[in-house]
Structure 1
């Protein structure tokens, strides 16, 4: 760490020199303006003016991947890494159904639009601007949708709803928000200017990545629970009510754990851990003769998945303990 002596120039002006290597690497010239922010620990953060953004490009060659899922994983990696243009190309024309399915899947990447298309190539460009994006609001939106999925799953278990169409739609929305927030946080950790624009700290970036990851996994788990709940033939009402009670308790724990992070409340984290423990301790008897063997398999899967989801709530609560 370099040190600099503070000098007094004039009656009330204090000056300190800037490291030459830093000045050169950032192309700073006499007369340029720098931003100075006072941090919570009273340190100063000096930033240069907004640099001209260099848009990175990436190419995905179809022949290097065995199926659509591998292509999507590679596209996701480039998206999160900050590529502004992504080309998907092939040596020969794509099968029509593959082109159609891939274009549908690419809709979950917020901001990316197809600007060029042929039977061998797709070129997508990012048109999203983070000027008015609030990371915290996006995360709260993701949490709210995840909560809707949990409530809808409970209604399916109780026989009040006969479809998980809403859940499927909401799950896609959570995926979109998850990828967008991951991408913007990745930009922020590499650019102090974006960090200031988003009004978050590096520590919050780390916490938010863990937070959205747990919420996204929770959403995926409840989608699977809803699908299995629809497959269960009518059984004892007491079983459905017990499973619904578990979800009710998990919703309370989910709220507490999420709010413990956003409000930096240590007590809420502890309460969430206690409520999570209470949720998984609800006894559920799946040995009834009137439950078919296939339905028992579905119910065992649901019960195991609820226990898995409770671990994600515990992850959130532990993040809350760390931020307080």
Structure 2
């Protein structure tokens, strides 16, 4: 960090000296224009106009000697880094092309535009001006609530015709797609102040929404797994207290919903009240397992505790990142 002294210049302005190495690096000279953006209490000085066309980056991912999981991670990384085109190349690509196309499809606004025997090209069609982080958070929240409702509904009896575990898993895939989209947008905000301004976000809000999206995604994962274990309880005909589980699960759901209500309203008092009952709700989950001991109920109780803990993280977001 460099420190500069503010100097009075004329009747209504001030000047500050810029570092010479920065001037040289950007090849600036007397009379050149500089561009200043203000975010919160920070000024950002740039040598380039914010009206310049965004850089369209391209990347090549080679498939030889890599597992499908490794290739998937590289595709997701390129997506999050906002590459315009992703070239996936390799002599072995035919054996994994179906999985690669699914990985591309699982990312919002990324589409396969060309396919050959040794390559696949994916392109991003995302326009940051068409998205709203607040709307995306609402969608993540609403899908998670619907997953919980369906999960609770299958506790009394499980229908193979209406396979709740499969339906909830499909919704969790939607959660993952939306979460990656949120992360992509927020990462672009960190890298480019103009994206922040376009979306009317401060850096603190970027951090807040990243943490919230991450937490909701984790809660949805737990709901998906709980539903699978509920299905197993019915398939194996394990005896368990259904009424008590419905009551407990509903309380966990209401705990999450109340914290999301506090988030939307920035209600610190409500958030703190819910946070203080977290230990008691945790103990109720433990008590349920003690009264209904089986492998499945152990997993369900543990994952309900996970949802309670992650909901408490939402309370921290409300209190510390607003």
For structure 2, the 5+ residue unaligned runs are none
How many angstroms apart in 2 are the aligned matches of 1:38 and 1:124? 34
Partner SS state of residue 61, structure 2: strand
Deviation at 1:33, TM superposition (A): 7.9
Deviation at 1:224, TM superposition (A): 0.8
How many angstroms apart in 2 are the aligned matches of 1:33 and 1:190? 19
Whether 1:6 aligns to 2:5 is: no
Do the aligned partners of 1:246 and 1:280 also contact (CA within 8 Å) in 2? no
What is the 5 A alignment of 1:118-137? 118-137=116-135
How many angstroms apart in 2 are the aligned matches of 1:29 and 1:91? 54
What is the 5 A alignment of 1:1-324? 1-8=3-10, 14=13, 16=15, 19=18, 25=26, 34=35, 36-37=37-38, 39=40, 41=41, 44=43, 48-65=49-66, 67-92=67-92, 94-95=94-95, 98-159=96-157, 162-164=162-164, 165-233=166-234, 234=237, 239-282=241-284, 283-284=287-288, 296-324=294-322
How many angstroms apart in 1 are the aligned matches of 2:39 and 2:205? 17
Q: Deviations over 1:220-269 (max 9, x none)?
A: 111011111112125667x2222222222222221233344443332122
Bigger Cα displacement from structure 2, 107-116 vs 270-279: 270-279
For structure 1, the 5+ residue unaligned runs are none
Counterparts in 2 of 1:219 and 1:93: CA distance versus 1, 3 Å: closer
How many angstroms apart in 2 are the aligned matches of 1:20 and 1:178? 40
The TM-score normalised by the length of structure 2 is 0.84
Do the aligned partners of 1:286 and 1:299 also contact (CA within 8 Å) in 2? no
Deviation at 1:76, TM superposition (A): 1.0
Q: Deviations over 1:181-213 (max 9, x none)?
A: 101111101111111111111112122221111
Counterparts in 2 of 1:250 and 1:285: CA distance versus 1, 3 Å: closer
How many angstroms apart in 2 are the aligned matches of 1:103 and 1:251? 35
Partner SS state of residue 114, structure 2: strand
Counterparts in 2 of 1:86 and 1:26: CA distance versus 1, 3 Å: farther
How many angstroms apart in 1 are the aligned matches of 2:136 and 2:321? 19
Deviation at 1:36, TM superposition (A): 5.0
Number of aligned pairs?
Answer: 309
Do the aligned partners of 1:195 and 1:201 also contact (CA within 8 Å) in 2? yes
Deviation at 1:275, TM superposition (A): 4.2
Counterparts in 2 of 1:313 and 1:115: CA distance versus 1, 3 Å: same
Counterparts in 2 of 1:261 and 1:52: CA distance versus 1, 3 Å: same
Do the aligned partners of 1:60 and 1:86 also contact (CA within 8 Å) in 2? yes
